[in-house]
């Protein structure tokens, strides 16, 4: 089977698979959740939509039709609201992972907190508030690393 699309959310991948299957295209989704999704919940991960090689052009055409931007203003407002919701979720995850990382799994928690913060800042508009949120996450990471260093050196 050949990959026709990639998704960072299992729900979107399953919806695309269902759409193609309803059109008579044999397909499957393969992939896995990110570690952070297991810790704080969610469906973020790396998912690939696969179809038979002979059905690739048809599947790509159908998926491209789904991704065409709508001229409808209500649709654009819905998309904008959805994008804001996704970036808000990423910010929340980054904060939660930062806090969790101080007490449990410090290295893994810090890595995923920084990762979610990076995805948040890339996917959001570059407003002063969003830049402040990003700086807050990075400051948490520095504070936690300094605290861990202090605890480690004090006990050595």
More confident of the two residues 116 and 38: 116
pLDDT of 73: 44
Q: What is the 3-state secondary structure (H, E, C) of 68-104?
A: CCCCCHHHHHHHHHHHHHHHHHHHHHHHHHHHHHHHC
Taking only the tens place, the pLDDT of each residue in 53-103 is: 999 999 988 888 776 544 444 444 444 444 454 556 677 777 776 666 666
Task: Extract the tokens encoding 3.
Answer: 């990959």
Q: Span 124-138, mean pLDDT?
A: 85
More confident residue, 41 or 153: 153
C-alpha 116: how far from chain center: 7
- Locate the domains of the chain by residue range: 2-67, 73-155
CATH number belonging to the domain at 2-67, selected among 3.30.70, 3.40.50, 3.30.460, 2.60.40: 3.30.70
């Amino acid at each position: 089977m050949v990959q026709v699309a990639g998704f960072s959310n299992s729900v979107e991948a399953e919806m695309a698979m269902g759409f193609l299957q309803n059109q008579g295209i044999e397909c499957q989704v393969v992939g896995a959740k990110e570690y952070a999704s297991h810790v704080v919940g969610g469906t973020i991960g790396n998912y690939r939509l696969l179809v038979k090689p002979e059905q690739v052009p048809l599947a790509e055409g159908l998926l491209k039709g789904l991704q065409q931007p709508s001229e409808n203003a209500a649709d654009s407002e819905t998309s904008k609201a959805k994008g804001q919701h996704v970036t808000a979720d990423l910010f929340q995850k980054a904060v939660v992972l930062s806090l969790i990382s101080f007490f449990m799994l410090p290295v893994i928690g810090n890595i995923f907190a920084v990762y979610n913060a990076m995805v948040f800042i890339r996917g959001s508009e570059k407003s002063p508030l969003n830049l402040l949120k990003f700086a807050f996450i990075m400051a948490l990471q520095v504070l936690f690393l300094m605290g861990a260093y202090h605890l480690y050196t004090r006990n050595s």
